Amino acid sequence: MNLLIQRLTAVAVATLSTAWTASYALAAGFGQQEVEQSRFIAIAAPYSGGTAHQLLILEQVKDTRPCWNVLGGTPIIVDPVLRTFDFNGICGRSIDANGYSIRVNGQDLALAYSVRVIRRNQNLVLVGDPLGCYNPDRSKCPNPEFDIGHANGLSADFTEIRLNPGWRFTRRVLDDRPLGHIYLTYEGTFPPSPIAYAPVPTPVPPPNPNTLTFRDVGGDTYATEIQQAVQLGFIAGFEDGTFRPQRSLTREQLVSMALESLKTLPGVTLTVPSTAASAPYGDVEMTRWSAAKIEFARRNNIVSGYEDGTFRPTNPVTRAEMMAILSRTAEYGRSLRQLSPDLPSTQAPQPFTDISGHWGEALISAMSTYCGVASPYNEIGTNFAPNAEAQRNYAAAATLRMLNCVTTAPQ
């Protein structure tokens, strides 16, 4: 048995030596490719019960659904939602030296440095750790240790690591062929100058999913805005204690939300009749629960029907249709405040890549400049998905943003 172990060990050592030599040869030939920084995040991932952390880099490959949710707090707590669904083809995940390494001034340092998350001065710090150094006195290592990023505090949870100035994500390429390997990249004087981190503030806990009104919105991208919308009273949950954030919203439900939101405008008294004087559309009977609101919205140019004279109240409202209704709601709300109905731009437009030629192109772009009412699908990437069904979570958030923009407009 001992002889067998010795032989297996010898083979393993020889294999490791060959692999090391091959890796060294490859490292010299690797190049780098620039990437969109917003599609990557560095996370300090806990292990050993949260007493230690290691680096986890996530990439949003496709916009089918978000690969992480930022929950907030100081330091910033992150929910890597890929833990709960099949992320193949949607998310990229790099968890060790096979998935990421350091690149400085065009040189791959995979064979000279590892990447570690350490605890230093009440902070989680991402460092380039020189390989082959076993001396506690780091000044005596063959290569200098340096900082790459930090979390601005301590946490036993998944925590965002912010890269220091000068650092960015790039992708490893071989013969111009993109690889899955991610570089932490730096160009400039090496080693980088030490960062004087600001004093770590008293930790602010992130939103606690257990304290939210609804048990199914804790990890939702729009959790905070959902709570604010519910508190204002223009949207509500269900009797079983759920909000069902990803359920589609119907056209009549959106009309109701939009009008109910305007009732909360300060200094404004808005009275919507409780009964309809007549059927507002051929498919909306005057006895329908939403008839009075649809009639009011139609009379005030907030909604319009289809060419065949129908409103289709139970149809799911598309994201583009929602922007049309919220735009007109904002115009009506501004008129209630004795303001010009024109919606001013408050920020730069979103560079949506999937609305060119769509009937709502100009409208969607304009609503992205109006307090970010129009925003990317799931707040990630550059797709707006104009024809996708509007979900309750984004509808609550978009309506809240519209309302806040009308409310805070100076008179």
Domain parsing of the chain, residue ranges:
31-186, 211-408
Which backbone phi and psi does 166 adopt, to 5 degrees? 95, -15
Q: According to the model, what pLDDT value does residue 320 have? A: 96
- pTM of the entire structure? 0.52
- Report, as an integer, the average pLDDT of 308-319: 93
Residue 364 has pLDDT above 50, yes or no: yes
Closest CA to 126 of 137, 135, 115, 136: 115
Q: Where residue 404 falls among pLDDT bands split at 50, 70, 90?
A: very high
173-184 pLDDT per residue, tens: 998 899 999 999
238-256 pLDDT per residue, tens: 877 888 898 999 999 999 9
Residue 20 has pLDDT above 90, yes or no: no
Crossing angle of helices 291-299 and 251-262, in 10° steps, is 70
91-142 pLDDT per residue, tens: 999 999 899 999 999 999 998 999 999 999 889 999 999 987 766 666 677 7
Q: According to the model, what pLDDT value does residue 201 have? A: 56
- Report, as an integer, the average pLDDT of 18-26: 40
DSSP secondary structure, 100-122, as one string? EEEEETTEE-TTTEEEEEEE-SS
Q: According to the model, what pLDDT value does residue 156 have? A: 86
Cα–Cα dist 96/180, whole Å = 12
- Report, as an integer, the average pLDDT of 316-340: 95
Q: Where residue 83 falls among pLDDT bands split at 50, 70, 90?
A: low
Flag the least confident range among 68-82, 266-280, 296-310, 345-359.
Answer: 68-82
Cα–Cα dist 375/386, whole Å = 11
Cα(first)–Cα(last) distance of the chain, in Å?
Answer: 87
Q: According to the model, what pLDDT value does residue 186 have? A: 96
Range among 8-22, 41-55, 184-198, 354-368 rated most confident:
354-368
Q: According to the model, what pLDDT value does residue 234 have? A: 92
Half-sphere exposure of 35 (CA within 13 A, CB side): 26
Q: According to the model, what pLDDT value does residue 12 have? A: 35
Closest CA to 78 of 37, 51, 45, 117: 45
| Sign of the Cα pseudo-torsion (379, 381, 387, 389, in order) | negative
What percentage of the chain has pLDDT greater than the value 90? 57
Q: Is the pLDDT higher at 279 or at 140?
A: 279
- Report, as an integer, the average pLDDT of 294-317: 93
Q: Where residue 385 falls among pLDDT bands split at 50, 70, 90?
A: very high
Q: According to the model, what pLDDT value does residue 352 have? A: 95
Q: According to the model, what pLDDT value does residue 215 have? A: 79
**Total residue count of the chain as it appears in this document:** 411
